[in-house]
């Protein structure tokens, strides 16, 4: 089977990955102890690549016999598709693993990187890294006076909770990997909570502008009449709100049966309002 040519952003990503892999392949092989981050190992395949790339981030690590380093290290390995699940199972999230790997630490390529050779059997507990992993396994939550309880989902790097908005029970998510980085996103949500009726009206207006014609042209059954704008808006039910530190927001609506169960996502910013709506799922 021939592979499609690589172009655009994918080409830049492949060029960067190839550069790092070339550097790693020439680096010495050492034994590393690593804390696997909460997301665990994931696999992807760039356009034009025959092999898959399995990657995980280590949040703390050390060369065997060395001192612990706190910070991000990216570990990767190229492998066949049928090898992915077996290797991923050897790298559980928030555990300490022992590896043989090519290793470099260079700020010009984003810090520490390792090219995995093999996962080694544990040679006993690494007390320092185990303490770090145990700390990262502990639940983290805050009680916000407006939003209620928000709990950290380390896998998604979000604080998540349940609240009420414009008369709807909604799930709330704020992009943040720690309590220290949470305040900006929460401040934007507090601003959004100030005029809920206006924000909901603006979100449904955006959804109708972008998706009403799509629904009437492509999603109606043969015996259904076209929906008007007001009926379209009434069928939308707010289910979730997501916010990041820059004030970018997404309202997710149930489709009310209009799009065969796909969610309607309406995107915008706290300062500028909503500017696009898409179907998800």
Tell me the per-residue pLDDT of 84-100, one tens digit each, with 9 for 90 and over.
999 999 999 999 999 99
What is the structure's pLDDT at 58? Answer: 97
Query: What is the CB-side half-sphere exposure of residue 138 using CA atoms within 13 A?
Result: 8
Model confidence at 4: pLDDT above 60: no
Sequence spans of domains, the chain: 8-133, 141-280
- pLDDT band of residue 10 (cuts 50, 70, 90) is low
Convert the pLDDT of each residue in 219-264 to its tens digit.
998 888 999 999 999 999 999 999 999 999 999 999 999 999 999 9
pLDDT band at 27 (very low <50, low <70, confident <90, very high): very high
Beta pairing partners, 63: 32
Given a cut of 60, whether residue 3 has pLDDT beyond it is no
For residues 275 and 261, the answer to whether their CB atoms sit within 8 Å is no
How confident is the prediction for the chain on average, in pLDDT?
92
261 and 255 Cβ atoms separated by less than 8 Å: yes
**How sure is the predictor about 73, in pLDDT bands with cuts at 50, 70 and 90?**
very high
Confidence (pLDDT) at 1: 35
User: What local confidence, expressed as pLDDT, does residue 123 receive?
Assistant: 76
Burial 90-128, CB ≥16 within 10 A → b, else e: ebebbbbbbbbbbbbeeeeeeebbbbbeebbeeeeebee
Residue given tokens 């909604």 in the structure block: 170
pLDDT of residue 118: 96
pTM of the predicted protein model: 0.81
Domain 8-133 is classified in which CATH homologous superfamily?
Nucleic acid-binding proteins (2.40.50.140)
What is the mean pLDDT of the segment spanning 175-184? 93
Name the residue with higher pLDDT: 39 or 20.
39
Q: Is the pLDDT of residue 110 over 90?
A: no
Q: Per DSSP, what are the bridge partners of residue 115?
A: 76, 102
- 23 vs 18, 28, 61, 73, 105, CA distance in Å? 9, 10, 20, 15, 11
Using CA atoms, how far apart are residues 18 and 12, in angstroms rounded to an integer?
Answer: 10
Confidence of residue 2 (pLDDT cuts 50, 70, 90): very low
Q: How far apart are CA 261 and CA 53, in angstroms?
A: 33
User: Measuring CA to CA, which residue among 15, 89, 86 is closest to residue 46?
Assistant: 15
């Amino acid at each position: 089977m021939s592979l499609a040519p690589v172009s655009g952003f994918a080409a830049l990503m492949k060029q960067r990955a190839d550069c790092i892999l070339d550097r790693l392949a020439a680096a010495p092989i050492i034994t590393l102890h690593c804390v696997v981050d909460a997301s665990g190992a994931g696999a992807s395949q760039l356009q034009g690549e025959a092999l898959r790339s399995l990657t995980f981030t280590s949040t703390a690590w050390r060369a065997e016999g060395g001192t612990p380093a706190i910070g991000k290290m990216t570990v990767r390995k190229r492998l066949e598709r049928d090898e992915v699940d077996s290797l991923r199972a050897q790298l559980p999230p928030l555990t300490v693993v022992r590896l043989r790997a090519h290793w470099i630490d260079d700020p010009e390529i984003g810090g520490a990187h390792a090219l995995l050779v093999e996962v080694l059997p544990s040679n006993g507990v690494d007390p320092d890294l185990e303490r770090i992993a145990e700390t990262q396994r502990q639940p983290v939550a805050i009680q916000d006076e407006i939003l209620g309880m928000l709990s950290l989902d380390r896998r998604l790097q979000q604080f998540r909770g349940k609240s009420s908005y414009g008369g709807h029970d909604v799930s709330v998510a704020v992009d943040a990997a720690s309590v220290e980085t949470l305040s900006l996103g929460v401040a934007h949500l507090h601003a959004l909570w100030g005029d809920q009726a206006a924000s909901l009206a603006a979100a449904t207006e955006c959804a109708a502008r972008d998706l009403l014609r799509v629904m009437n042209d492509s999603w109606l059954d043969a015996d259904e009449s076209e929906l008007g704008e007001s009926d379209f808006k009434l069928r939308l039910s707010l289910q979730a709100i997501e916010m990041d530190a820059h004030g970018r927001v997404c309202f997710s609506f149930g489709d009310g049966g209009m799009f065969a169960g796909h969610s309607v996502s309406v995107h915008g910013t706290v300062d500028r309002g909503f500017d696009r709506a898409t179907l998800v799922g």
